[in-house]
Amino acid sequence: MKNYESKYFNTATKMDLALISLLKKKSFKYITVSEICETAGVNRSTFYLHYETIGDLLNETTRYLLNDFLSYFPTDTQEIAYNLKNCELNNLVFIGDKHLTPYLTYIKDHKEVFSTALLHNKTLGFEDVYKRMFENIFNPILDRFQYPPNDRQYVMMYYLNGINAIVSEWLKNDCNKSIKEIAEIITVCIYGLQQRTINSY
């Protein structure tokens, strides 16, 4: 990366983080360009060199969060897809350590950012993360079990909203429990007390 590209990227990142910080304090619609610039330590001309509107910054901040979040997951989607199609049915699980550990690690490492994402779910676009998880993990598993396509969205909302409720409670308590403990709570809620350890494929 050339020096000017690196400087441009670093400045953009400062403004991404400034917006996330401001979202902790107020609704998106009340945030001004001046506040973003002051928080990021840049001037207004720099802001408008990067964006036309705060909405443009919001879109970039969404991508910043998503890319950061997804970096915690395995990147070999072809290998994941192959495993889902070819492993034994009794090894197929919706929620296992392979999914929960990176998810919960991200939350604990970036709990302030993730709290903002939860509070502004529709604004920051974290529903795109769940959509990707549905398309790449859950939907192929449901295919293997020949689950009716028209019912799948309801099943996934049941799982994902339940997990979000546990995560929200964890965040309210400043992530006082370990990742392993929270993963076990989620696993028990989904699979029952008799299956505390779920092995990923």
Q: Which domain holds residue 146?
A: 72-191
Residue 62 lies in a domain: no
The residues near 62 (Cβ < 8 Å, ≥ 6 apart) are 124, 125, 128
Would the pTM count as exceeding 0.85?
no
- Most confident residue range from 91-95, 107-111, 141-145: 107-111
Q: Report pLDDT digits (tens) over 114-131.
A: 777 777 766 666 667 777
- The per-residue pLDDT for 153 is 84
Given a cut of 80, whether residue 2 has pLDDT beyond it is no
Query: At residue 24, does pLDDT exceed 80?
Result: yes
**47 is a domain residue:** yes
Q: How many domains does the chain have?
A: 2
48/93 same-domain check: no
Q: Are 36 and 19 in contact (CB under 8 A)?
A: yes
Same-domain status, 38 and 113: no
Q: Mean per-residue pLDDT for 39-64?
A: 93
Let me know: does 184 contact 196? Beta carbons within 8 Å: yes
Report the CATH number at residue 35: 1.10.10.60
Q: Indicate whether 135 pLDDT > 70.
A: yes
Instruction: State the pLDDT at residue 199.
Output: 42
**124 lies in a domain?**
yes
Mean pLDDT computed over every residue of the chain: 80
